[in-house]
Structure 1
Amino acid sequence: MPFENKSVLITGGCGGLGALLTRALLDGGARVTVIDRAQTGPEGTTYLRGDLSTPTGIDNIVDVIDRAKWDILINLAGIQHFGPVEAQSSAHLYASYMVNVVAPARLIQAVLPGMKARRSGQIVNVGSIFGSINFAHFATYSSAKAGLRGLSQALRREVTGTGIKVTYVAPRAVKTALNTEKVMAFARLTHMNMDDPKKIAARLLRAIRDEEKDVYLGFPESLFVRINGIFPGLVDGSLAANDLKARTLFS
């Protein structure tokens, strides 16, 4: 799908990865509307400042966007907790599921009627390798992204024959401000692969343009996704040593 004159709605478009993707879409001729909680949006976009971490915040955004025509919805916004699940505050736990899976589902509800009426459109959900390989100490993030993956697959089956495409992209760890100091310490301790956001933004753009279905980024992580789907016990064993290393960061 070329981007010239396409109306694109993107969440998280002010972040490190989001800003790069937004700029690339603008350069491709798209009309981009960004939803984020930053004070100001990227230059050249229409900016909707909003909070996707609460039902009220999500519905406030929906009240605005469901009156417009959208060619592409990109659910990119995400938040993360790294640490023992019992150490995560209840407020952050609720927000994790709201931002990572509930908000995407609600926005999809808002844009689908118009897309179906025009028999054209694309839903892009940006998940994570963590949604297929569910990492210890990322329990809520991994499970929320697993939900987003499931939502993408079910939606794709639901809209078959309507002219709507569903793209799910799962990057591995990306070097952005989303990563806390402890996440970076974990990456160093376990030699975890982390990708440059420019590389990921370019790959995301290509996946959207080519209307790809399921894209898993990085090797050997993309291979582990397949193995984990068939033999999760093997992945348990391969990750055990790193899981133990991670515990030392919280002892």
Structure 2
Amino acid sequence: MRVTPRAWIGLMIWVGYVIIIIAVTLLSGVPFPDIGTSADSTWRGAVMDLAVAAVFLMIVASLLGWWRPALFERQRSHHKWPIFVPIIMLVAVLLNFFNTDWSQFDTSFLLSLVALGVLVGFNEELMARGLVLTALRSRLGEGWVWFLTSALFGLMHVGNAVIGAPLGSSLTQAALAFASGTAFYIVRRVTGSLIWAMVLHGLWDVSVFAVGHAPLAPAFGGLLGPVVGVLSLICVYWVIKATNERPATAVAAAV
């Protein structure tokens, strides 16, 4: 690592990311409720800001030299069974896909959803459970690392209120994001890689946008979301237990 991880660096990355997302979305002129309703609104209101933020994150990760600790664990969780929770989330994704009327999407709209999924999964995981997680591990125990990365992930969704979402729904989304973020954290700890969390995160968002725009029937897959959240909060203890992912430099400093 070129730069020794520090908690304040992670917080600055989080602030910078949130500012970029909000600023570029406001410049696009697309209000939050319109995102995902058409190809144009998705490209301009979601993909564009995520693309700019992706460049920001890649530059930061490269300058800091944090790619490896951001993407990979030194040691996987001793308990593998909590992976059943993200698997339920994957089932919900498949249910959403099967419950979507894909005939209502033209090629441009489909491509915008694919771009959205790739960028959301890459950006939000690299930012929250990658770079911020690496920074916080320099100072805090893993229990606090899980809690704060999930809390910051949830809190950034409150920013949707700035770009046109109702405050009440933004707060609800923040709470759900805290829980779903815990599921993605479980994926990282059990598999040892952030990449699988990126994939699941991207698929989840695409399925939610798709079924929200063109449902064939009530979105039963969405009902599993709160179940996944509750189970994640119950099971996360076992993937944190006996974890020591603090950088060697931080451990040496503590000694």
Q: TM-score scaled to structure 2, two decimals?
A: 0.32
Which structure is higher in RCO with an 8 Å CA cutoff and minimum separation 6? 2
Greater strand share, 1 or 2? Answer: 1
Q: TM-score scaled to structure 1, two decimals?
A: 0.33
Greater helix share, 1 or 2? Answer: 2
